[in-house]
Amino acid sequence: MADIIAASRRWNNASSLTGALIFTGEYFAHYIEGDEKAIDQLKLKIRRDPRHTDIVTLSEGPISQRRFARWAIAYAGASQYVAQAIALPLREIDRPGKSGVNKLLRLMDEFVSQDYSHA
């Protein structure tokens, strides 16, 4: 994780990408915001990375303002609470509404506002 965070901080800063990453020990959930081309480029890099598999995009689209503007990659590590928060949107993948994604994002907001993470 230290390697991933260090590389991400460098690249994301250079590409004006911001966002948050949480990890349960089994699953990652990653929220990325920035220029569409920069995001597409990063998605290619992440897809090539053998350190994880079965990548799913839960939600994507334009936003009016950044949610994690101060964070190249806010990071929160494993906890049971985080594991449950990730399981919810994964169960909802084929259902409309996707309230699980919003819950997951609010959890990321919480970590950032409580300064559990390191930008």
Ligand X SMILES: Cc1cc2nc3c(=O)[nH]c(=O)nc-3n(C[C@H](O)[C@H](O)[C@H](O)COP(=O)(O)O)c2cc1C
Distance CA 97, CA 77 (A): 27
**Is there binding between residue 60 and ligand X (CB under 6 A)?**
no
**Is there binding between residue 7 and ligand X (CB under 6 A)?**
yes
Give the shortest CB-47-to-ligand X separation in angstroms. 8
- Residues with Cβ within 8 Å of 72's Cβ and at least 6 positions away in sequence, in order, are 8, 9, 12, 13, 17, 18, 19, 119
What is the distance, to the nearest Å, from the Cα of residue 84 to the centroid of all Cα atoms in its chain? 15
Question: Which residues in 75-114 contact ligand X (CB under 6 A)?
Answer: none
Cα-only R_g, the chain: 14
Q: Which of 26, 40, 48, 115 binds ligand X (CB under 6 A)?
A: 48
Nearest residue (CB) to ligand X, 7 versus 95: 7
Nearest residue (CB) to ligand X, 49 versus 60: 49
The pair of three-digit structure tokens given for residue 3, joined into one six-digit string: 């390697």
Q: Which residues bind ligand X (CB under 6 A)?
A: 4, 7-8, 11-12, 21, 28, 30, 42, 45-46, 48-49, 51-52, 73
